[in-house]
Structures are given as C-alpha cells and as structure tokens.
Amino acid sequence: MKLKNIYKGGLALTLIAGLSACNDEFLEPDMLSSYDPTATFSTISGLESAMAQCDNQLRNVLIDGNWNHVSLSSNYMMSDIGLYAKTDMGDGFQDNFAEKLTPTSGMSSGGDGNAFQRFWDQGYYGVKYANTVLTYIDNVADLTDDQKNLYIGRAYFHRAYMYYHLVLQFGDIPLVTKIISKPKRDYKSTSKEAIFDMLVHDLEFAVQHVPSRTEFKELGKVNKEACQLLLAKCYLVTGEYAKAEALCDSLIETSGLALMQESFGSFVYGGTTNTWDVQRNVIWDLNRPENVCSSQNTEMIMPILNFSAENHVNYQIMRSHGVHWSNSVIKDPAGYSTPNKNFNGNDAFCVDSLDWVTCIGRGIGVFRTSPYYNKTLWYVNGVEDTEDLRHNREVGNWLEMEDIRYNNNFTTKDGVVTYSPFYGKNMQLYATEDYIDADGNTVVKKGDLLCSDTIRSWYPTPLYKYYIYQHNFYESRATQNQLNGAQNGEDNANMYLFRLAEAYLVRAEAKFYQGKDATSDVNEIRKRAKASQLYTSVNIGDILAERARELYLEEWRQSEMVRVSWCLAKSGKPDEWGNTYDINTWDKQSGSEIYAAGQVPTSGSYWYRRCIAYNIFNHGPITSNNHEWNYKVDKRNIFWPIPYSAISGNADAALRQNYGYDGYDENIQMYTDWKAAVEEE
C-alpha cells in the first residue's frame, strides 16, 4: 500500500478541513479515490501503514525539502540563540516580529521565511495520522490485547509529541482525538493545561505498553524509552517534578543507555588536510547522521530516519545555516573581494589548499546563530572554555571566520594575473593598517570594516552540527561547486528525536524545581564534551545554556524556552536574575520596549527576558547590507498567533486567539477539562 494514497477522501477532510480551510472548495472530497477508511484500516497492514505515516511525520514536521529553508529553524528565529539573517529579503518582516507577526500575516513567507503556519498544519496532520490508528483499531480482528495496546501506545506517543509542540507554540488550541466522517466547523479551544493533562494520561499508558528499545528493535519506531522522556517533560509542565526525576533516573541508570564517551561508528571526514583538518573525536562522531543509528551508539533513544532512496527529504542544513562567506561583501585588507571559488577542475586560479567549499560548504546564511551562542555561551566560571569539544577549533568542530584564508583574490589584465598580497592569509574583520596600491592610492584605511554584511556573512560555524556528506558533491567535483547537505537518498540525513543527554538535562530541571542540587547532571554532559570548566552550582539559566550547547538543532528551542517559562511560573522558582513569575500572568503581557544591550527587562516572561538579554532583539536598528534591520519581539510573541485560516475555517464556533493579537477575547469559552472536550467531540 502506497502511503501517499492512504489519506485521500474522507480522512483528508477531518481536522485540516475544519481548522485550515478558508474556502468551500477545500471541503470537496477527492473523487479520484474510492477509498473506504473502515476497510483500509481493518487489517494489520492498514494499521502499519498509518503508523509508518506517523513515523514519517516526525521528520516532515521539521524538514520540507526546501532549497534554502529548514523548517526547524523557525524554532530558533525568536529565541536566545538564533536569528533570521537573509539580508537580501529587503523589507520582509523576518526581523520585526513585534510589529509584523499577526494572525493574518507573517505566519509564512514562502521558501526562505518562517514556517509558523507549516508547524500548525503539519502538527495537526501528525495528530490526524495518530488518530487514524486510535479510531479504527477496534475494527482490526485477531489482535491480541498486547498487540492492540502496543499500537495504541505508539499512537498516543505520536499524538502527544505533536500536541506537546503545538501547545508550546500556539497555546490554547482545539483538541482533536478522533477521525470524523465529515467536515467539522464548530471546534472549541481547549486550555493548554488540560491538553497536557491528557498527554500525561496517554503517555503513562504508552510507558506501560510499548516495549523497550532492546525488545523492539525496529529503528525509527516508538519505544518505551522515548515515551518515558516525553512523559518526563510533560511532568515538568504539570508540576510533577518527582515523577519526572524518577523517569529520568530509570533512563540514566537502568535502561542500558549510556552517554557515548569515545569515538565510534564511521569517521566521516569533513575537511581537507591543507585547509580545515577535522580530528576524530566523540562529539564529531556523535553528530554524524551516519552514526545516529549505529549499533555502537548507546546514547540514541529514538531516531528520525531520513536515509533511503524511497523515503528521503532533502536536508540542506549547510546551505541554509552556513555563513555566506563566499559573498563579495567580504573584502581583504587590500580591497580584493572573495567570491565563491573552489577547486573543481574548472577554476584555473584556485588551488586545492584553499578549497573552503569542501570544508564548510557554500552557505547562504538564511539563518544564523546569535552573538550569545557564538561567544558568551561558552564562558563558564568567567573562562571561555575552548577545550569543550562543542566549541573546539583545534579538533575542527568549530570554525571562526578568522580561520578561513582568503582565496581567489586576484585581478587579470592583458592575460597577466596579479594576486592580492593577502591571498592565502587569514580573514580579518577590520583592516589593521592602511593599504596603498601601486599608484599611491589609499585603497583601505586602518580600522575599515572589511565585511559590509556582518549579519549574514560574519559568524562562526559549529561544523560538527552542520556537516553532512553529500555524495554528488564529492563524487562529481568537476561539475559540482556547492556542498549544501543531504540532497538525495544517497545522503544520510538521519537525526535524533531523543538521546540520553537530554534526560540528564531534564532531570537537572526536575531537581531544580524541587530545590535540589542539579549541578552533577549538567556537569556529566560537560565532562563528556571534555570541557575544562565545570559548574560548582547551577541555576535555571545554566541548565538552559547547557541545552543550547548540547542540543542545538535537536531541541525545538522556542518550544523549550516557553516550557521552561511555564515551569518557572508554576514552580515559583527564580530565574538566574532572581525574578519570579506569576502563573496567572506569565503569558499575558505585551510590549516591545527598547533596551540597552545585555539589559534584562523588568517584565515579561522568562522567554522574553532571555531573548532581550542574550540576543540582539529590541536594542535598536542595525544597518547591514545597506538596509536597516529592526530585530524586535513583543512579550506576546511567546506564543505565535492562531492562524486566521483556522479561525475563519471554523465558522460555527469561536476559537480563542492568543493574548495581545487581534481577535483576543478572554470571554470566548474553552474547555478546561480534556475529558469534557473529548466527550463533546
């Protein structure tokens, strides 16, 4: 059975028709299919097809195959560690979320923009696929109780994973738990608290009935340990901290899982010996897609599979996140530009020793890391920890712009090639002396800025997180000049859904909310990274910082920051500045005042304060690439707006809009008990 045909007809009209449609045409059945869901899902093979779609959706919600964009990036654009950086977007809204993110605009801006609307759509598609299993499983004959409970547990996990993020992105949203036979336009919102109560209920069932990874060895399918970790995170939200700690104890101490301490699996070399030489180390190996599913990997809890000719989505992370170093906006200290050139047999003036494309790719800087992630984050005990393998230039995991050497800096006149005197020397951001040409003209003055677009074209590369071996690039060097990431089924783009390192950090949070010392759990992660600096005590800021160091491009950063903001308000514990939060108001504030760099706002959620204190938001305009950028967020942006398409498509009942956005009305009724919502559904 081909997955692409399963959901034609009635099923495609369930949630998406009710919540995303904005015209009647969308509601018309697909008459190309005579599909009968009752018959299709009355067999084990039908259930397996639905489960396979659930498994695929874990990837599809994060990756859309776009040439320039990775959907996951939208969870970093309004956080403490990420930014939108594509400066040739002109007057796009991507910098100024405070003013331009509304229910009717700013939810999506095409191929190079954000994926807020996509997360709503794809998240609810994931809910639908899980609900398919739960709705039709009673129609399948000859299932034993254990088999039935296994399917239900796996489906509960998938639905919980989607709702976990939908709630932390969009707040109070419709709760949909079954497949219906006709369009429904009278959904009501359910409170985020009630939905998390349901997630706990469902995941407790899943933990009891889904086998462990050692028993259930089909990679990419839900196992008990994945259910335990997601449940532990939900327990943090519901305030059941001791239960969260106990689940993490089980994962860390009795599951057979262990942090990887030494190199393992395949060594996928990501450099050239004459340019950027990567030395094998455990952090490099741990982050190679080829090793995610290695039998030696004792840290992997559950992967997201993306490696086969039949089932592959392009993951061009090196292109979308890599610095636009080849842009001509970078000049050398003699005024020569540094265009994109690499040794591919056609470039007569570029030698292999300066082939930087092969090492770091040909990034275009659509998304970038923040100054906090690039520098401040790595200071522990007042010391920049350059021995930490996640920030280590000596082994090649981390690369600064100053490590790149100028290449292809030359002019030709009458067939004579004249090279810049800085050809082959390391890049520099500012000129250290005047440069006077042969005619006596001062071409560059001491102190001149040599990169006119420091947003897009001047930031470091955490190469160990970005690098993907792209087969057609390395095997066709005579014609290929762009190393972008995984582009076809030959390129391994497997990812982690969960690995054990996160369990240590979730346990650290659980201890913190209980008033216990969480230092040892954070330090275990640092020890594995061979960090020279260990904490003597930790606060919530330290735990969030370690999540950023360890789980960059694995966690959904915005979602996790919102979750921690909620947890602080519920627990009453202070943040790193001593602020406490009111559970009744933590998510109901608005405003986007301007602050001095590093200043901590006196109001707003923890998410908001971190964005302002640690990132460049709300510090005034920045001029780059001849354009003024106003990176701003509003306190209300802790949740994204409910899309207008969902509100207008739900014509027979009112959905609640989030605080601060047009259409917000606290008098609109919503369910505060998930069981009542399910009963009315």
Name the 3-class secondary structure at 488. Answer: coil
Rounded to the nearest 10 degrees, the angle between the axes of helix 557-571 and helix 540-551 is 160
Buried b / exposed e over 472-489, threshold 16 CB at 10 Å, is ebeeebeebbbbbbbbeb
Average pLDDT of the segment spanning 123-134? 97
Per-residue pLDDT at 410 exceeds 80: no
pLDDT of residue 9: 32
Per-residue pLDDT at 25 exceeds 50: no
Alpha-carbon torsion (516, 517, 521, 522), positive or negative: positive
Using alpha carbons, select from 498, 1, 449, 470 the residue that is nearest to residue 224: 498
Q: Is the pTM of this model over 0.75?
A: yes
Q: How does DSSP classify residue 153? A: H
pLDDT of residue 17: 39
pLDDT of residue 326: 83
Per-residue pLDDT at 357 exceeds 50: yes
Average pLDDT of the segment spanning 335-357? 61
> Residues 457, 401: contact at Cβ < 8 Å?
no
Using alpha carbons, select from 518, 503, 498, 501 the residue that is nearest to residue 250: 503
pLDDT of residue 339: 56
pLDDT of residue 545: 98
Place 342 in a pLDDT band, splitting at 50, 70 and 90. Answer: low
The amino acid occupying position 178 is K
pLDDT digits (tens, 9 = 90+) for 655-673: 999 999 999 999 999 999 9
Separation CA 336–CA 422 (nearest Å): 9
pLDDT of residue 474: 84
pLDDT of residue 272: 81
pLDDT digits (tens, 9 = 90+) for 381-397: 999 999 999 999 999 99
Separation CA 613–CA 618 (nearest Å): 10
**Extended strands (E) in 344-472:** 367-369, 379-380, 383-384, 410-413, 416-419, 435-436, 442-444
pLDDT of residue 372: 98
Per-residue pLDDT at 347 exceeds 70: no
Place 353 in a pLDDT band, splitting at 50, 70 and 90. Answer: low
pLDDT of residue 477: 66
Name the 3-class secondary structure at 2. Answer: coil
**Tokens, residue 16:** 């998406």
Using alpha carbons, select from 544, 550, 592 the residue that is nearest to residue 283: 550
Question: Could you tell me the CA-to-CA distances from 214 to 58, 228, 306, 417, 557 in Å, in that order?
Answer: 21, 15, 22, 63, 30
Q: Which residues contact 602 (CB under 8 A, 6 or more apart)?
A: none
Backbone φ and ψ of 460, nearest 5°: -75, 170
Q: Which residues contact 654 (CB under 8 A, 6 or more apart)?
A: 188, 647, 665, 668
Torsion, CA 68, CA 89, CA 114, CA 548, rounded to 10: 80
Minimum mean pLDDT range among 216-220, 246-250, 260-264: 216-220
Per-residue pLDDT at 309 exceeds 70: yes
Place 183 in a pLDDT band, splitting at 50, 70 and 90. Answer: confident
pLDDT digits (tens, 9 = 90+) for 517-528: 999 999 999 999
pLDDT of residue 511: 98
Minimum mean pLDDT range among 39-43, 88-92, 145-149, 596-600: 88-92
Per-residue pLDDT at 6 exceeds 60: no
Q: Where does residue 593 fall: left (phi above 0), alpha (psi -120 to 50 degrees), or beta otherwise?
A: beta
626 vs 195, residue with greater confidence: 195
Place 350 in a pLDDT band, splitting at 50, 70 and 90. Answer: very low
Using alpha carbons, select from 640, 675, 672 the residue that is nearest to residue 659: 640
Minimum mean pLDDT range among 99-113, 172-186, 376-390, 570-584: 99-113
Separation CA 173–CA 3 (nearest Å): 28
Place 22 in a pLDDT band, splitting at 50, 70 and 90. Answer: very low
Average pLDDT of the segment spanning 588-615? 97
Average pLDDT of the segment spanning 122-149? 95
Using alpha carbons, select from 135, 125, 126, 127 the residue that is nearest to residue 37: 135
Place 348 in a pLDDT band, splitting at 50, 70 and 90. Answer: very low
pLDDT digits (tens, 9 = 90+) for 447-466: 999 999 999 999 999 999 99
Average pLDDT of the segment spanning 430-447? 95
Per-residue pLDDT at 187 exceeds 70: yes
Per-residue pLDDT at 275 exceeds 50: yes
Mean pLDDT of the chain: 89
578 vs 41, residue with greater confidence: 578
Backbone φ and ψ of 640, nearest 5°: -75, 155
pLDDT digits (tens, 9 = 90+) for 41-88: 889 999 999 999 999 999 999 998 887 888 999 999 999 999 999 888
Place 90 in a pLDDT band, splitting at 50, 70 and 90. Answer: low
Greatest alpha-carbon pair distance for the chain in Å reads 90
> Residues 350, 389: contact at Cβ < 8 Å?
no
Per-residue pLDDT at 36 exceeds 80: no
Using alpha carbons, select from 357, 313, 319 the residue that is nearest to residue 491: 313
Separation CA 253–CA 236 (nearest Å): 20
